[in-house]
Amino acid sequence: MELKWIEDFLSLAETRSFSRSAELRAVTQSAFSRRIRSLEVWLGTVLLDRSTYPITLTSDGRQFLETAEEVLRLLTLSRADFRNRSERSSLPVVTIAALHSLCLSVLPRWLNGIREAVGPMASRVLPDNFNICVQALVEGGYDLLLTYHHPGIPMPLDPARYPYRIIGRDSLVAVAAPHGLAPDSEGRRPLLQYSRGSFLGLLAAIAQSKEGAPVTYPIHTNENSMAEALRSMALAGHGVAWLPVSLVAAEIASGALDVVSSEMLMEIRLYRSAERARPFLDHVWAAAALDEPNYALQE
């Protein structure tokens, strides 16, 4: 049982539309429908009459609506209480959901710049995959979202509700160890892949389709989609990996990894919710625009 299932149900009870609620909850309609169905399975009953338009609540659905509203109210009050305690602590706190690779490569430097601009502060970071990070921002558990952006992958956030700043530039490049596996008889290099559907995997697929990409064949798939794991595999000589330059700049400079492709430029974006405001967060947001490092190989 997950809290977001209850929030999904309450949204659906208000809109009576799967498509509209999925849009408001920043997920695909199919994913939203699966979550509602998961809630029904967990409860052991049917909450919605899907044969009507707009949809209506069943008698069990109407009964559960009262429970869901009360549960969410109590949890919201508890969260507000805990956050008030945090805000009364000696240091203001900013919470950030960020892609794993950005937590290693970009976030530490960015936090240093923010502290120089706004003064002492504490931070709480959620390093996770793209979808979970987006959901963490939408559900209000985190102040900021740090992610890559490329026009080839749509961002499921309404820019009016979730404004962003470009805080840096990066690029995706194919790298391989000089001592690694040699190309096959057809000149193809072994490719280290991300799991299907992962955010960096989608970016890598776009980069692989561009002119200048190496000719490859798949040899290994990393199921947890963490770029750091593919970096380790590439360093050990297992094949070519598409990785952010910010994550492998030191290895490229030392010669531990060779660049074997042209680069695909990306933005590093910081998102926030327009509905989530407090003075300290506004200061952090203003300071976020002061520095825009460029990690790309080419200026």
CATH number, domain of 214, equals 3.40.190.10
Owning domain of residue 164: 91-169+267-287
> How much is the pLDDT for 235?
95
Verify that 271 and 165 share a domain, yes or no. yes
Report the predicted TM-score, pTM, of the whole model to 2 decimal places.
Answer: 0.72
User: Domain with 45 in it: what CATH number?
Assistant: 1.10.10.10
Domains contained in the chain, number:
3
Residue 297 domain-assigned?
no
pLDDT at 91: 83
d(CA 295, CA 167): 11
% residues pLDDT > 70 (the chain): 95
CA distance linking residue 50 with residue 37, whole number of Å? 12
Provide the pLDDT for residue 299. Answer: 46
Q: Both ends of the chain: CA-CA distance in Å?
A: 48
- Output the pLDDT for position 103: 93
Is 248 a domain residue? yes
